[in-house]
Amino acid sequence: MKKRIHLNAFSMNCVSHIQHGLWVRDDTRQREFNRIEPWIELARLLERGGFDALFLADVIGTYDLYRGGPETAIVEAVQIPANDPMPLIPAMAMATEHLGFAFTSSVLQVPPFTFARQISTLDHLTCGRIAWNIVTSYLPNAGTNLGLGGLPPHDERYARAEEYLEVAYKLWEGSWEDGAVLCDTARGRYADPARIHPIDHAGTYYEVEGPHLSEPSPQRTPLLFQAGSSERGREFAATHAECVFMFASMRSLKASTGVVQDIRARAARRGRRPEDILFFQGVTPVVGGTEAEAEAKAADYVAQSSVEGGLAHMSGSVGVDLGAIDLDAPLASLETDAMQGVVRGLIESAPDKSLTFRDLVRSRASGQFITGTPEQIADTFQAWHEAGVDGFNIVYAVTPGTFADFIEGVVPELRRRGLVQSDYAPGTLREKLFGQARLSARHPAAAYRR
Ligand SMILES: Cc1cc2nc3c(=O)[nH]c(=O)nc-3n(C[C@H](O)[C@H](O)[C@H](O)COP(=O)(O)O)c2cc1C
C-alpha cells in the first residue's frame, strides 16, 4: 500500500465545538454529549472507517471576551457547558480494539506529576492507544480559574510547557527502568527498587522528587500532538510534536503546505527527520449523492450557522473583543497576545486582505468545507495528501452525521485507491502510525532514558 492517508475525528465533550448554531438541528446528537452511549457509538463507527484516532479538544475557561462577558458563549453553547474529555476514554476503549484517543490537556491545568500518572494509567488501560494534545491555553478565564492571577504571557506559557514536558519525560522515560517490574510470585518481589529512580526535578515552575507512581505503560510517553502556529509554537512543535494539527482554510493548500515545510525544516535543525512528524489538516467533508445535493447541504449549514456564536469563539481565540471593535475594519490591524499564530494564519489565508472580521466569520463557517460527491472529495483528499499533508482531522458540522457520511461515502472510495487502511496494524497507537512503540532516539524525551 502507498503511504496512507491518516484520519482523525475532531470532537469535544460539549454541545457546540467549531461549527456554531447547528446544535439545534434534529440530525445531530450534540445535545446528548452528557451521555456515554453516543460516544461509544461514535468510537465504533470511527473504527469501522479505519480512523487512527478520535481527537478531543478541551478548554479550561469560558469565551468571555465578546461584548465583555460570557453571555453569548453561554446562549450559543460555544464550548460551554464543556465536560472533561478524559473520563470518556476508558468506556470508548472498551468498545473498540484499535482506535486511538487523543485528548487535550493544558500545561496550566494540573501539575505535571499528577498528569503524567493520569496518562500512564490511561495508556495501560487502553494497551497504548493514548495521545496527548499539548496546549498552553489562550482564554484569560483559564488563568483566573487556576489561581494564576490571570493568563501568563504567551511566551511564558511556552516556557512553562517546556518545563512541564521535561518533568513528564523524566517520569515516563527515566524513572522506571525496563525490567524494574519483576512480578516474581515465587520470591514475592513485585518490583526492583534498584531500578526505580526519583527524578529530583527542581526548575523555575516545578519541583518534583518522584519516583513516577505508575510502572511503564506500553508507550511510556503518549503519542504527542500539538497545534500552536506562532513562531514560538512552531519551535515547540518542531522539538516535541509527533503529530501537528493545522487549521488553514481548505481554500488554501499553500498555507498548509507552508506550515508543513517550515516545521519540518525546524525539526531537521534539531536532528529530527521529516518522517518523524505527521501533519493533519482540519476539514469538514460535506458529502452528497450529486454535487448539487452536497452544495445544498453545505448551503443549509452556512445559513443556519451562528455569526454571534462564531464571533464569541473567535474573540476568545484571538484575544480581542470583536463586539467592541469595528467588525468592518481590515484584518491586519489586530495585535494580540493570545493565539498570535492564528491571527497571522487568518490574515495569511485571507485571499483578499481587505476582508473584514464580519466577512471572515461568515466564510470561516464554510472555510473548512469540502463539498461534493464521494469521488470529488476523495480527489481533494488525494491532492492534499500528494502535496505533503499526511492526514486529516474531520471537523463535524453535525455529529455523528458528518463522520458517518464520510465513512459510508468517501472512505470506500479512498480504500479503492489504496489510500485508507482496511485493517489496522497491530500494537500501540505509535506503532500503528510510526512502526515503533516508543519514541525514537532522535526525540528529546530519549535523553531522559537510563
Ligand atoms: C486546530 C487547532 C486546535 C486547537 N485545539 C485547542 C484545544 O482543544 N484547546 C486549547 O486550549 N487550545 C487549542 N488550540 C490552541 C493551540 O494549542 C495554541 O495554544 C494556540 O494556537 C496558541 O499558540 P500559538 O500562538 O503558538 O498559535 C488549538 C489550535 C488549533 C490551531
257: three-class secondary structure by DSSP: helix
Tell me how far apart the alpha carbons of residues 360 and 214 are, in angstroms, rounded to a whole number: 47
Residue with cell 454541545: 15
Lowest mean per-residue pLDDT among 273-287, 353-367, 403-417: 353-367
pLDDT tens-digit profile of 217-238?
Answer: 999 999 999 987 789 999 999 9
- pLDDT of 339: 45
Nearest CA to ligand 1 atom 25: 339
Higher-confidence residue of 125 and 317: namely 125
Higher-confidence residue of 389 and 250: namely 389
CA of 135 to the centre of ligand 1 (A): 6
pLDDT exceeds cutoff 70 at 177: yes
Tell me how far apart the alpha carbons of residues 431 and 89 are, in angstroms, rounded to a whole number: 19
Q: Ligand 1: which of 246, 284, 320, 339 to mutate, most ligand atoms within 8 Å of CB?
A: 339
CA of 355 to the centre of ligand 1 (A): 23
Amino acid, single-letter form, for residue 242: E
CA of 445 to the centre of ligand 1 (A): 22
CA of 395 to the centre of ligand 1 (A): 15
Mean pLDDT value of segment 153-159 = 95
pLDDT exceeds cutoff 80 at 402: yes
pLDDT exceeds cutoff 90 at 367: no
- pLDDT of 163: 98
- pLDDT of 398: 98
Nearest CA to ligand 1 atom 29: 227
330: three-class secondary structure by DSSP: strand
pLDDT exceeds cutoff 80 at 81: yes
CA of 134 to the centre of ligand 1 (A): 9
CA of 259 to the centre of ligand 1 (A): 15
3 CB contacts (<8 Å, ≥6 apart)?
385, 390
Picking from 38, 140, 138, 203, the residue whose alpha carbon sits closest to that of residue 341 is 138
Average pLDDT, the chain: 93
Higher-confidence residue of 377 and 255: namely 377
Picking from 301, 79, 429, the residue whose alpha carbon sits closest to that of residue 439 is 429
Grid coordinates given for 275: 518522517
Nearest ligand 1 atom to the CA of 233 is 26
Higher-confidence residue of 161 and 437: namely 161
Nearest CA to ligand 1 atom 28: 227
Phi/psi for 157 (5° steps) reads: -60, -40
**Residues facing residue 104 across a β-bridge:** 133
pLDDT tens-digit profile of 241-261?
Answer: 999 999 887 888 888 999 999
Nearest ligand 1 atom to the CA of 56 is 8
Q: How many CA atoms lie within 13 A of 436 on its CB side?
A: 10
As a whole-number percent, the residues of the chain with pLDDT over 90 amount to 83
Rounded to the nearest 10°, the torsion over CA 54, 274, 437, 1 is 70
Mean pLDDT value of segment 284-288 = 98
Grid coordinates given for 183: 512480578
- pLDDT of 45: 98
**CATH number, domain 6-152+217-448, options 1.20.1250.20, 3.10.105.10, 3.20.20.30, 3.40.50.300:** 3.20.20.30
- pLDDT of 90: 98
CA of 228 to the centre of ligand 1 (A): 5
Q: Taking CB atoms and a 6 Å cutoff, what residues make up the pocket around ligand 1? A: 57-59, 104, 106, 135-138, 227-230, 232-233, 245, 247, 282, 339-342
Mean pLDDT value of segment 184-188 = 98
- pLDDT of 123: 98
Tell me how far apart the alpha carbons of residues 6 and 280 are, in angstroms, rounded to a whole number: 8
Residue with cell 455569526: 307
Nearest ligand 1 atom to the CA of 104 is 8
Alpha helices by DSSP H, listed for 177-275, are 231-240, 253-269
Confidence band, pLDDT 50/70/90 cuts, at residue 334: low
Lowest mean per-residue pLDDT among 87-101, 146-160, 331-345, 384-398: 331-345
pTM summary value = 0.94
pLDDT exceeds cutoff 80 at 333: no
- pLDDT of 338: 46
Nearest ligand 1 atom to the CA of 231 is 26
Confidence band, pLDDT 50/70/90 cuts, at residue 320: confident
- pLDDT of 1: 47
Mean pLDDT value of segment 110-137 = 98
Mean pLDDT value of segment 437-443 = 95
Domain boundaries, the chain: 6-152+217-448
pLDDT exceeds cutoff 90 at 283: yes
Alpha helices by DSSP H, listed for 305-339, are 307-318
